[in-house]
Structure 1
Amino acid sequence: MLLNVQGAQAYCYTGGKAFDAQLPTLVFIHGAQNDHSVWGLQSRYLAHHGYSVLAVDLPGHGRSKGAAKRSVEELADWLIALLDAAGALRAALIGHSMGSLVALEASQRAPQRVSHLALLGSTYPMKVSDALLEAARSEEQTAIDMVNIWSLSSQTMPCAVPGVSLSGSARRLMQRMSRLNPEQLFHTDFSACNAYAGGEAAARAVSCPTLFVFGGKDIMTPPKSTKLLRETIAHAQTVQVDAGHQMMAEQPDAVLAALRGFLKQDSA
């Protein structure tokens, strides 16, 4: 599905079903150097079970045009504008890593538009090491290799699809993002995460049903680093899955089960 958002083409995967704004809307938001495809199983299943799905490509990622946004705040404004373009009055926001910060900030900026908030692989502050920031700026392939190693609990993690390597697929996706947008995309994304200073205020403002999904083996955003968010959003539920940072790929069914149960809850 193609939309015009802030004057540029934005792509949303709708899970193989036509988008219907009359159904409950789910917006999936990917993390740094990724695109909508990281939500493949979860977005497609939910699109065929009573929801309308918008799995976005953020600006400068995948099939969405325009320059990559340089701050979480800009991305949140873009996301709200996307809801307007799609005719979605209200939606559940489901974000992973950088995408979780975008969802959190958008929920503060337009609380009346957010029915549910699901934050996967999230933490705040989401600081990025100087070494990784520099690698993303000057040696992007090195940064891709570093993140690929750190994002999976094991480089030999089996995939549910025979003959497919989770590690190889994740690496190729990040390389594809670099080819599509050679303007230091990884550095732009990481810098936005590193600079975001509004997370605690945004968390204090959350009143809708909220879910945290953490990977028990996540070393990018380890569960112990999430204390501030969990204590600030005290009403949130927490689910831990046996995975690293890329939990949607490592444990797709467990992540889907967590989302399905959570989305059945009524919002205010």
Structure 2
Amino acid sequence: MKSALSFTINFINMKKIISLLLSTILLVFFCSFCTNNDDSNNAKTNTYVLVHGAWQAPYVWDAVRADLESKGNKVIVVELPGHGSDQTPTHTISLEVYRNKVTDAISKAGGQVILVGHSMGGMVITTVAEQVPATIKKLVYIGAFIPVSGQSLGELAMTDPGSQLGPQIVESADHLTLDVKRESLTNLFIGDGSPAMKDLVMTNYRPEPAIPFGNKVTLTVANFGAVDKAYIKTANDIVISPSLQDKMIASAGIKNVYSVNTSHSPFLSQPQAVSALLLKIAQ
């Protein structure tokens, strides 16, 4: 009787021990899974700084920003002086002023950023990369200008016989702003966009400050040359032709090249494609 009782007690104790061990194993596995999952999410989290181009403003990034943020990323959209609601006097605006606005935004980001520029914004992010290369994880051009040292945007644009923009530009009498003929605006910038997107571009249109178009850049191999770069080509672009895009990509030595089958403003006509590529480039 005593032996049977002892066996029963030992059996019960053994069951408790086994149950405790199983619970411990499951707890360790669950905690490990949560940790790994958190690490995975953290690894995918980046800070994007988005810089718009000429005759545009921060609104063009709205859909891309929303998509990137929905996937856990931080997004900073820069409003360049003289664009959107900014009322900086046109005669005070230069490429250096643009650069300083972007570097200030980066300084508040709290770490390295993925710096993205479109069109004229390519000139801006290029000068930023020269100024603060260590703050940039990736430099991404989207249908954007990439100058060589000593070159201005105006000079670079003149090398593009495939562009249809030049004849549609009207300079103001005081030489401080550049207008695009309204009847050509949406065809140039978003020919493949929806009527709603075309209306958005027309509604938010402002003449472009002219002085930055003549400002030359100074670039070095040690700074600008050391930053990791990628380019997203706009394959149906009639503002910056694919031919000029290819030449600039080759000149800058960019190896990571992607393409979207859009006109000049892919973030308006195909925002999901743009955000997907930005996420891919960040990996």
The normalised TM-score by structure 1 is 0.72
Please report how far the alpha carbon of residue 202 of structure 1 lies from its aligned counterpart in structure 2 after TM superposition.
7.6
Q: Structure 2 vs 1, CA of residues 197 and 144 (structure 1 numbering), >3 Å: closer, same or farther?
A: farther
Please report how far the alpha carbon of residue 89 of structure 1 lies from its aligned counterpart in structure 2 after TM superposition.
3.4
3-state secondary structure, aligned to 2:187: helix
Which 5+ residue runs of structure 2 have no aligned equivalent?
1-44, 148-155, 159-164
Instruction: Report which stretch shifted further, 97-106 or 53-62.
Output: 53-62
2:101 maps to a residue whose letter is W
Structure 1 residue aligned with 2:99 = 76
2:82 to 32, 35, 60: 60
The alignment's C-alpha RMSD in Å is 2.9
Structure 2 residue aligned with 1:107 = 129
Q: Which runs of 4+ in 1 moved over 6 A?
A: 138-141
Q: Structure 2 vs 1, CA of residues 140 and 103 (structure 1 numbering), >3 Å: closer, same or farther?
A: closer
Instruction: Report which stretch shifted further, 136-145 or 75-84.
Output: 136-145
8 Å CA contact retained: 1:243, 1:251: yes
Identity of aligned residues (%): 19
Please report how far the alpha carbon of residue 38 of structure 1 lies from its aligned counterpart in structure 2 after TM superposition.
0.4
Structure 1 segment 55-204 matched on structure 2, within 5 A: 55-64=77-86, 66-68=88-90, 70-84=93-107, 86-123=108-145, 124=147, 125-127=156-158, 129=166, 132-134=169-171, 143-154=181-192, 157=193, 159=194, 164-174=195-205, 178=206, 185-186=207-208, 188=209, 190-192=210-212, 194-198=213-217
Q: Structure 2 vs 1, CA of residues 106 and 126 (structure 1 numbering), >3 Å: closer, same or farther?
A: farther
3-state secondary structure, aligned to 1:78: helix
Q: What CA distance in whole angstroms lies between the structure 1 residues aligned with 2:84 and 2:221?
A: 28
Q: Structure 2 vs 1, CA of residues 202 and 28 (structure 1 numbering), >3 Å: closer, same or farther?
A: farther
8 Å CA contact retained: 1:135, 1:142: no
3-state secondary structure, aligned to 1:165: helix
Q: What CA distance in whole angstroms lies between the structure 2 residues aligned with 1:111 and 1:144?
A: 38
Which 5+ residue runs of structure 1 have no aligned equivalent?
1-22, 179-184
Choose between structure 1 and 2: higher helix proportion: 2
The normalised TM-score by structure 2 is 0.68
Please report how far the alpha carbon of residue 262 of structure 1 lies from its aligned counterpart in structure 2 after TM superposition.
0.3
Aligned residues: 222
Q: Structure 2 vs 1, CA of residues 77 and 227 (structure 1 numbering), >3 Å: closer, same or farther?
A: same
